Structure 1
Amino acid sequence: MMNQSPSTIRNGLSILHQVLEGHVGVYWKGGVLQKTITDPSFHLKLPFITHYEPVQVTLQTDQVRDIPCGTKGGVMINFEKIEVVNQLHKDYVHDTLLSYRVQYDNTWIYDKIHHKINQFCSFHSLQQVYIDVFDQIDEKMKDALQGDCTRYAQGIEIISVCVKKPTIPESIRRNFEQMEEECTKVS
């Protein structure tokens, strides 16, 4: 038997539930996703027969953390945090959940950003990733994620991506700092 959280048990027992502003309510009857989607307010459902989940339809920021990747030259770096601002549009909630379930952002945000950042790193040197094209990574990731969502999950809009500077091995970081100091002295 599956362990159920107290909120899952309450959800199963309750007749009345509230959909909060910024969300819509989706329902499963006998395990089948229903086409009914409710707006914010109080609603009724049949206990044990109908399961309810709130789904956010306003802007949300997903934070993808600790993404290790190897550069073209084989140096391992780590992106500690990448933020993806996105929105699931209300008109696409049913189709998105039917195909990708409630945790659709695992597939289209978390897993995709891991894959896309690793692809990017594998085609670029450490110098390029850390300095030369770092200012372009945000837009490249946004375009890559949106391209896949447009193709396969049309209701998900990627608003922006913010990639934090990766951590690099300490010895290499010191070399970059020394080179920067030398360039400053020459100027």
Structure 2
Amino acid sequence: MKDALQGDCTRSAPGIEIISVRVTKPTIPDSIRRNFEQMEGERTKVLIAIESQKVVEKEAETKKKLAISEAEKNANVSKILMEQKLMEKDSARREEEIENQMYMASQKSLADADFYRVMREAEANKLKLTPQYLELRFIQAIANNSKIFFGDKVPNMIFDQRLLGNFLEDVARKGRLKDWDAEA
């Protein structure tokens, strides 16, 4: 303080030299002192309130950031679970398609095999249907007849070779007509 006063005096009033400075403590009346202390207390309370408000704001901001982080984490987990479910369903769909294709292939091969068998049987039957075979089947059918006739009037059909010959000619003619229709 002495140096500050000396600097001012040197500029304003040259020749004045300050030797020492003595500061005495003033006596402040009690009412002013109480008001001052009360004002300082209020100011302190205001500063404390401002600081506590800042702390509350920081805590709220921290809670908000935590909530956002938690929500993002839950959203990511939910997204991953949804993708997993979609992948499982897609895998099940592909598996079902493969099973359907396998079933269709097996059914087609069974149908082809059945068709081949029927065609081969038809070819075999065509080769088997000769007049001699038909005569044999005719005779077997007559022999398997469970009716037996006794007496003088035995039906002539059994012994009538003309009837048998007519039957065989009809069968042969029908076979030729079918062949002729197939060629046309």
Q: TM-score range by the shorter chain?
A: under 0.3
Q: Relative contact order (alpha carbons < 8 A, sep ≥ 6): 1 or 2 greater? A: 1
- Larger strand fraction of residues: 1
Higher alpha-carbon Rg = 2
TM-score (norm 1): 0.20
- Larger helix fraction of residues: 2
TM-score (norm 2): 0.21
